[in-house]
Amino acid sequence: MYHNLTSEKMKYLTINELWNIVYTQLKTTAIESARVETDVILSKGLNVDKSFIYTYPEQLVRNKDFRRVLRYTFLRTCKIPLAYILAEKEFFGLLFKVNNKVLIPRQETEFVVETAISIIKTISETTYEKIVCADIGTGCGNIAISVVKNLLNINLEMYATDISSSAIKLAKQNAKLHNVGDKIKFVTTNLLKYFIDNRILLDVILSNPPYVSEQEYEQLQPEIYFEPKKALVAKTGLEYYKYFAKHAGYVLRPNGKLVLEVNPNLIHKICELFFQSGYNIKKIVSDYSSLPRVIVVEKNT
Ligand SMILES: C[S@@+](CC[C@H](N)C(=O)[O-])C[C@H]1O[C@@H](n2cnc3c(N)ncnc32)[C@H](O)[C@@H]1O
């Protein structure tokens, strides 16, 4: 076991030997994607590209790097998500800083970004006016920043809001990191309150709201409990959609749209509640597992 290795022996470990130690540790603690995560831990711990690990398996590992890799591995075997250990997560081809005050961006949320980009491009073809967009519950800023980064040539005003001031602080840092700090307005506020109070009208509302029900939360992987519960859970999973269905009409311009990530288990209920509140369901986008993941709705005029 690696805990028993003497520092003398540690000096002579090769990348390949270290890879096997890490992999065995992750595998024995039932980390699902042990192979992929071992690659990441080694690449980050040794500060090399993943390809380097496979090209130079016989290269000796320096003591300092060895200790870093062991630290990452130990934390991971405690089920702490790798993104929190490394303090970063890739999303839509960009690297975002994360910490345990924000949800770790998920791959399926990239469908919100793709859908938003396409909608905003379409709107821009029919108007010369500024398109106003808000990402509600921005977390580390991944949705707002990815959209803005991909639409630099469009006259777009982007707001990124969250009820958590820690999230807003981190989102601002990420925006700066990606050179769009001056292109996004960050606001700490409760859902649409800031826009309603200030009578700001929006063309597009984006949101990946908390949608895991209390019941579902009990049955999730242990990693999930390191993430802020408030970022994930709503009592029945429907509360935030009910809020949007009730209040978005006050801030959406005519033909304005809501682009929302949804809990696939609640898709029928969510569509029903928007329909009952006078919205048209314009689109339902499925994710990589063919599950309904994003809805686009528009208020009837
Ligand atoms: C599911 S996370 C989404 C984070 C990020 N947008 C993403 O997609 O990865 C939901 C976010 O909504 C925020 N939130 C929860 N309740 C809120 C509220 N009442 N008003 C504004 N933001 C809220 C949480 O702090 C959290 O950052």
Q: In this predicted model, what pLDDT tens digit does every residue of 200-250 receive, in sequence order?
A: 999 999 999 999 999 999 999 999 999 999 999 999 999 999 999 999 999
Per-residue confidence (pLDDT) for residue 301, from 0 to 100: 75
Left (φ > 0), alpha (ψ -120 to 50) or beta: where does 191 sit? left
184 secondary structure, DSSP code: E
> Rounded mean pLDDT of 261-290?
97
DSSP characters over 269-300: HHHHHHHHTTEEEEEEEE-TTS-EEEEEEEE-
Q: How many residues does the chain have?
A: 301
Tokens of 251: 């801030």
Answer yes or no: are the C-beta atoms of 140 and 170 closer than 8 Å: yes
Q: Residue 75: is its pLDDT beyond 70?
A: yes
Cα-to-centroid distance, 265 and ligand 1 (Å)? 19
167 CB near ligand 1 (under 6 Å): yes
Nearest Cα neighbor of 205 from 92, 120, 109, 129 is: 120
Provide the pLDDT confidence category of residue 175 given band limits of 50, 70 and 90: very high
All structural domains of the chain, each given as residue ranges with its CATH number in brackets, are: 2-78 (1.10.8), 101-299 (3.40.50.150)
pLDDT of residue 12: 77
Q: How much is the pLDDT for 300?
A: 83
pTM here? Answer: 0.94
The response to whether residue 141 sits with its C-beta less than 6 Å from ligand 1 reads no
Mutate to test the pocket of ligand 1, among 106, 188, 195, 208 (most ligand atoms within 8 A of CB): 208
Atom of ligand 1 nearest to the CA of 135: 6
The per-residue pLDDT for 3 is 46
In the prediction, which pLDDT does 2 show?
Answer: 44
For residue 15, name the pLDDT band (cuts at 50, 70, 90).
Answer: very high
Closest ligand 1 atom to 139 CA? 27
pLDDT, tens digit (0-9, with 9 covering 90-100), for 141-171:
999 999 999 999 999 999 999 999 999 999 9
HEC assignment per residue over 45-106: HHCCCHHHHHHCCCCECCHHHHHHHHHHHHHHHCCCCHHHHHCEEEECCEEEECCCCCCCCC
Pairing mode, strands 131-136 and 279-286: unpaired
On the question of pLDDT at 102 being above 50, the answer is yes
What's the farthest any 2 CA atoms get from each other in the chain?
75
The pLDDT of residue 1: 41
Tell me what the pLDDT averaged over the chain comes to.
95
> Is residue 267 over pLDDT 80?
yes
